[in-house]
Amino acid sequence: MATVEQAQTTTDSGAPTVDVFCPADGRLVGSVPDMGAPEVEQIAAQLRAAQPAWEAIGPEGRARHMLAWLDWIFDNEDRILELVQQESGKSYGDTKIEILATAEVINYYAKHAGEFLADQHPRPHELASSTKSLHLFRKPYQLVGEIFPWNYPLAMPMLDVPPALMAGAAVLSKPSEFTPLAWTECVRGWNEIAAPPVLGLANGAGAAGAAVIDVVDMIMFTGSTRTGRKIAVRAAERLIPAALELGGKDAMIVLDDADMERAVNGATWGGLFNAGQTCIAVERVYVEEPIYDEFVAKLTEKVSGLRTGMDAPGTYQSDLGSLATEAQLEIVERHVQDAKDRGARVLTGGKPTGQGLIYEPTVLVDVDHTMQCMTEETFGPTIPVMKVANEAEAIRLANDSPYGLNGSVYTGDNDRGIRVARQMETGGVSVNNAMMTLFQFPLPFGGWKESGIGGRFGGPAGLLKYCRQQSVTTERIKLASEIHWYPYTKRRGRVAAHLTRILGARGWRRRLGLKRKGSPE
């Protein structure tokens, strides 16, 4: 099989390109330019020139373009999904969900941006300010940079680009060099519908991403914690805001009163969807002792019945597909080997299928926190399951991680689920579900600890983070001067002091200045 790692080559004209290979069979499926800083700077300048008109048409005008783009995406769905499959090696079922996410995000922010961006006029907080009117305005950053990983070639950009565009910013997008094809096609679609030229594309490897950070006013990054740190450092040097959505090691807790079928099905899909290459995948499972044996038996049976492969579009003949890169396959193999070396047992799976970069769906037991599979992000089709004595031990182990992205709890009692959820150190928890918080758009989505800074998505905050806030005050009563302005006089000083006490102190004696220590009355 040809290597499926992305390779940098040049065109006949000498311009550098990145070749893209299908990880399920090693075929070369396309190539894109490998841009350097000068090209990125040129695109940024064009985007900045187009942004003021985009901001000026307001949320309703922008929503019309966004919805026309969504029409175009649906009209070209088959071709876009074929590109997603070819560059990622996914099963068709896993691929199809990317369109669902696309439609939901565009519709949500197209519908709500006007309400989220509306000017606000809060009431003054106390009597002395009652002569003022308060105004809160939002102004988008002119140019936002957005850098994406390879795990969802369409859905990752679609979580970030629609809210930034709807905020009124221009967006310079940078897809992963491993999976740039579907997104490149979508940006072409934006231009084909003749939308204003405010969506730019910087293709290429890490250097193109670094060039993006150097030309934008705000950066949204989704990817590994390792790269996220570099981005945070560069953003700090430039003093621009950075929102970082990084890695995870999400825990699933199964309590003794859980619905067994649902918990098993949730672990199977939550752990293996997209071959486990989801930041909020179930990466480790803690099961209370009384139900552990039954859970493991049912999970092993379910997982061993799954089908692997990159099936033909529309056939749904496979459940999970390929890992996206050779580096990813190496991590999965290393974690499974390390677990076995330390005494874990593989109940099903545990090796590559031999077809492309596809790895067998795997259940590991007798695992503990000395093993990489329980402490490092695997990002692969493995479900390590650990027996715990009780709820408290499950929570302690779930929190024993540098990551804090999401998690899940299965229980027959929602109150118990919420009680456990509130003790988990993660940005989100799904009770009796897998990865569900991400798809509830009114809720914010973001990681704690090393899983991120600044929040990625969801609700008003998911759009307003692309804006600066401007506070403006106006005067309701026209006075020649304010009591705290020059010149200072004894009389005005006394009046100001009395007012401060009357409005700010507690109890009538303090308010009237009758209760003081050691100062002359």
- Residues at the contact surface with ligand NAD, assessed by CB under 6 A: 147-151, 156, 174, 176-177, 205-206, 209-210, 213, 222-224, 227, 230-231, 245-248, 279, 377, 379, 405, 447, 452, 456
SS (H, E, C) 45-88: HHHHHHHHHHHHCHHHHHHHHHHHHHHHHHHCHHHHHHHHHHHH
Beta strand residue intervals within 309-406, DSSP E = 345-348, 362-365, 382-388, 403-404
Is 279 considered catalytic here?
yes
Question: How far apart (Å, rounded) are the C-alpha atoms in residues 290 and 267?
Answer: 18
Number of H helices, E strands in the chain: 17, 20
Phi, psi of 7 (to 5 degrees): -125, 140
- For the bound state, the minimum distance from the C-beta of residue 268 to ligand NAD, rounded and expressed in Å, comes to 20
User: How far is it, in rounded angstroms, from Cα 367 to Cα 221?
Assistant: 33
Q: Which is nearer to ligand NAD, 311 or 376 (CB)?
A: 376
Residue 29 vs 287, nearer CB to ligand NAD: 29
Q: Which of 251, 199, 458, 225 has the alpha carbon at shortest distance from 375?
A: 251
CB of 176 to ligand NAD, least distance (A): 4
Closest CB 47 distance from ligand NAD, rounded Å: 18
Work out how close the CB of 433 gets to ligand NAD at its nearest, in angstroms, rounded to a whole number.
Answer: 18
Which residue from 259, 217, 499, 257 is spatially nearest to 512, judged by alpha carbons? 499
Structure-block tokens of residue 227:
């790269």
Nearer to ligand NAD, 177 or 288 (CB): 177
Residue 508, by phi and psi: left (phi above 0), alpha (psi -120 to 50) or beta?
alpha
Name the active-site residue from 186, 279, 373, 467: 279
Token pair belonging to 68: 């026309």
Q: Which is nearer to ligand NAD, 268 or 278 (CB)?
A: 278
Whole-angstrom CA distances from 98 to 84, 90, 101, 283 are 9, 11, 5, 21
> Which residue's CB is nearer to ligand NAD, number 108 or number 150?
150
Rounded-to-integer distance, Cα 354 and Cα 356, Å = 6
Q: How far is the CB of 99 from ligand NAD (least distance, A)?
A: 18
Which residue among 185, 245, 360, 376 is the active-site one?
245
* Smallest separation (angstroms) from ligand NAD to the CB of 19: 15
- Rounded distance, CA 414 to CA 257, Å? 11
**DSSP string of 156-218, one letter each residue:** HHHHHHHHHHHHT-EEEEE--TTS-HHHHHHHHHHHHTT--S-EEE--SSHHHHHHHHTT-SE
Q: Which is nearer to ligand NAD, 116 or 183 (CB)?
A: 183
Nearer to ligand NAD, 227 or 362 (CB): 227
Whole-number minimum distance, CB 385 to ligand NAD, in Å? 21
d(CA 321, CA 152): 13
Q: Is 245 a catalytic residue?
A: yes
Q: Which residue in this structure is represented by tokens 């529309």? A: 314
Residues contacting 137, CB < 8 A, separation 6+: 119, 469, 470, 472
Q: Which residues are catalytic?
A: 245, 279
